[in-house]
Amino acid sequence: MGVRTWIDSWPVYRQLTGTDPLGRGAAAKSGRSARLEPRVATADRVVKSVCPYCAVGCGQNVYVQDGRVTQIEGDPDSPVSRGRLCPKGAASLQLTTGDAREHHVLYRRPYGTEWERLDLDRAMDMIADRVIEARRAGWQWEVDETRTRRTLGIASLGGATLDNEENYLIKKLFTALGAIQIENQARV
């Protein structure tokens, strides 16, 4: 470090000679804070998204670096939200990347006292078997001599936090299976 640089880095000197006589801005800035840059500055991509919490539908910008989400901020382009997020929306990064998320399938066997790990493909196969069996066990061609062509054996709850496309496939599949007890948060 040359003498000149050394003197320039002294806040009092900068306060007396620079544009910040009260020492509340540039003069007080340390070398470290001068070198800091927002974590979004180095992002590889910005992906347009929508807040997953309430139904206002605030726009989100999702910043991705090295294949990981590094920050989620409000989208100033959105005429709905104009870049703002509430405390929940601002916590979206923690929601999506936090360590509270489970990354593995867990299985509790009948009468079991603990969770066990289960392979995803195996879980899907077991669930499919159980759907077929419960569907058949609860099947009703008729109720009081009136055709119903349905099953009371399986039911489903939830959908308000899901995408339209997801709800569409769930309703389509379950209706074809004859399930009628399909519900979501619209009633709670």
Footprint of other proteins on 161-180 (CB under 8 A):
161-173, 175-180
Q: Which of 103, 53, 50 is nearest to 61 (CA)?
A: 50
Alpha-carbon Rg for the chain in angstroms:
28
Segment 130 to 149, residues that bind other proteins, using CB under 8 A? 130-132, 134, 136-139, 141, 143-149
| Binding to other proteins, residues 77-116 (CB under 8 A) | 77-82, 84-92, 94-96, 98, 100-111, 113, 115
Please give the C-alpha separations between residue 90 and each of 67, 101, 120, 123, in angstroms, as whole numbers. 21, 17, 32, 34
Segment near other proteins (CB under 8 A); pick from 6-14, 19-27, 31-39, 59-67: 59-67
CB 38: neighbour CB atoms within 10 A? 10
Binding residues for other proteins, rule CB under 8 A, total: 118
Helix (H, G, I), strand (E, B) or coil at 118: coil
Residue type, 67: G
- Pick from 15, 27, 73, 159 the residue near other proteins by CB under 8 A: 159
Closest approach of Cβ 41 to other proteins, in Å? 17
Nearer to other proteins by Cβ, of 15 and 178: the residue is: 178
User: Could you say whether residue 69 binds other proteins (CB under 8 A)?
Assistant: yes
The residue type at 120: L
Grouping H, G, I as helix, E, B as strand and the rest as coil, residue 79 is coil
- 3-state DSSP call for residue 113? coil
Provide, rounded to whole angstroms, the least separation between the CB of residue 36 and other proteins: 21
